Amino acid sequence: MPTYTLAAIPAASHGSLISCSSPGRYRKTRVEAPDLAGIRAAVAEYGTRLHDDYPEASFLVSVTPERGSDHPEGFCEARWKGSLGTEHWIRVIPENTPFRAYLTEVEVMLAHEVRS
């Protein structure tokens, strides 16, 4: 079964512009999913759990297939078009809020251990 790494990456939006931090620094979890529906369910579960722990955090969920792992047909297109539900937890912030300062606050929130 294909294996994926999910990571919560601090992100925020000013309308159509989304800014996020580097994905390499954040807590990750590995999941197995046989198809796109399974990936969407894993993303929803992971994002909801994180949101429940940190309701003020604004983040997207990165989905990365394990190297050499086959992924289901349509995966690349679904990831590109945003239909995996990865951006559900991105908050729109006021235009006068500096991205860097806001994302630093979110980074501090997400640096804590995520409840299993």
Query: What global pTM score does this model have?
Result: 0.81
Rg (CA), the chain: 14
Q: What is the mean pLDDT of each run of 10 residues along the chain (116 residues)?
A: 88 73 67 93 94 87 86 88 91 79 78 52
The 10 Å Cβ neighbour count of residue 74 is 12
